[in-house]
Chain A
Amino acid sequence: MRNRVIICEASEIVANGLAEVIDSMAQFDVVARLDNLDRLSERITATDANLLVIDPTLLGFQYKEFLTPLAKEHPGITFIALATTCLDHSMLAPYNGVIELYDTRSKIISKMNEFVQSETTKKVDDVELSKREIDVLVAVAKGMMNKEIADQMNISIHTVISHRKNITRKTGIKSVSGLTVYALLNNLIDESELI
Chain B
Amino acid sequence: MAKKKDLFSKTAKLAELIAGDRRLLQLLPRFGIALGFGDRSVEEVCLMNNVSTELFLTICEIYSDDAYKPVQHALHHTDMSSLLPYLKASHRYYLGERFPHLEEHLQRIIEACGPKYGPMLRHFYDEYKREVMRHIQYYEEEVVFPYIEALRNGQRPDTYQIKEFRHNHTNIQDVLDDMMNILLKYLPGDILPKERIEISLDIMELSDDLNRHSLIEDHILIPYVESLENALP
Chain A positions within 8 Å of B, measured between CB atoms, are 23-27, 171-175, 177-178, 180-182, 184-186, 191
Interface contact A181-B182, CB-CB below 8 Å? yes
Residues of A within 8 A of B187 (CB): 185
Q: A26-B215, A185-B117 are in contact. Are A178 and B179 (CB under 8 A)?
A: yes
Q: Can you give 13 A-B contacts (C-beta < 8 A)?
A: A24-B69, A26-B65, A171-B181, A174-B175, A174-B177, A177-B124, A177-B178, A178-B179, A182-B182, A184-B117, A184-B120, A185-B117, A185-B187
Binary interface encoding of chain B residues 152-195 relative to chain A, with 1 for a CB under 8 A from any of its CBs, else 0? 00000000000000000001001101110110011100000000
Contact residues in A for B174 (Cβ distance below 8 Å): 174-175, 178
Told that A26-B215, A177-B175, A178-B175 touch, could you supply 12 new A-B pairs with CB distance under 8 A? Answer: A27-B67, A172-B178, A173-B178, A173-B181, A177-B127, A178-B182, A180-B120, A180-B124, A182-B182, A182-B186, A186-B186, A191-B120
Q: Are B186 and A175 in contact (CB-based, < 8 A)? A: no
User: A24: which B residues are within 8 A, CB to CB?
Assistant: 69, 71
Residue of A nearest to B173 (CB): A1
* Interface hub of A171, A177, A185, A186 (most chain B Cβ within 10 A): A177
Residues of B within 8 A of A184 (CB): 117, 120
> Nearest CB to that of B186 among chain A residues?
A185
Docked CA distance A185–B191 (Å): 14
Least Cβ–Cβ distance between B219 and chain A, in angstroms: 9
A26-B67, A26-B68, A26-B69 as given contacts; A174 in contact with B178, CB under 8 Å: yes
Smallest CB gap from B126: residue in A: A177
A160 → B minimal CB distance (Å)? 19
In the complex, the answer to whether B124 meets A25 with C-beta atoms within 8 Å is: no
* Cα-based distance from A173 to B179 in the complex (angstroms): 9
**B186 to A: closest C-beta gap in Å:** 5
How far apart sit A4 and B185, CA to CA, in the bound complex (Å)?
27
Query: With an 8 A cutoff between CB atoms, is B66 at the interface?
Result: yes
Is B86's CB within 8 Å of the partner chain A? no
Would you call B66 and A181 a contact (CB within 8 A)? Answer: no
B210 within 8 A of A: no
Contact (Cβ within 8 A) B175 A175? yes
A172 touches B185 (CB 8 A): yes
How many angstroms between the C-alpha atoms of A175 and B69 in the bound complex?
A: 27
Enumerate chain B residues within 8 angstroms of A185, measured Cβ to Cβ.
117, 182, 186-187
Interchain CB contact under 8 A, A175 and B120: no
In the complex, the answer to whether B178 meets A25 with C-beta atoms within 8 Å is no
Docked complex: B187-215 residues within 8 A CB-CB of A:
187, 215
CA–CA, A112 and B65, complex, Å: 18
Does B128 make an interface contact (CB < 8 A)?
yes
Closest A residue to B171 using CB positions: A175
Q: How far, in angstroms, from A172 to B22 measured CA to CA in the complex?
A: 30
- Name the residue among A23, A171, A174 with the largest chain B CB count within 10 angstroms: A174
Closest 9 CB pairs of A and B: A178-B178, A174-B174, A175-B175, A172-B181, A26-B69, A173-B178, A185-B186, A175-B178, A181-B124
Residues of B within 8 A of A191 (CB): 120
Q: Please give, as numbers and ranges, the residues of chain A lying within 8 Å of B178 by CB-CB distance.
A: 172-175, 177-178, 181
Residues in B neighbouring A25, C-beta threshold 8 A? 67, 69
Nearest CB on B from A3, distance (A): 13
Q: For the complex, give the distance between the alpha carbons of A186 and B187 in Å.
A: 9
Let me know if B120 and A181 touch, CB within 8 A: yes
B207 to chain A, nearest CB (A): 10
Q: Which residue of A lies closest to B119 (CB)?
A: A191
Q: Shortest distance in angstroms between B227's beta carbon and chain A's nearest beta carbon? A: 18
Please tell me if B121 contacts chain A, counting CB pairs below 8 Å.
yes
Contacts of B215 in A (CB 8 A): 26
Find chain A residues with CB under 8 A from B186 CB: 181-182, 185-186
Nearest-Cβ distance from residue B176 to partner chain A, whole angstroms: 9
- Closest B residue to A172 by CB, please name it: B181
A186 to B127, CA, bound (A): 21
Give CA–CA (A172, B179) in the complex, Å.
10
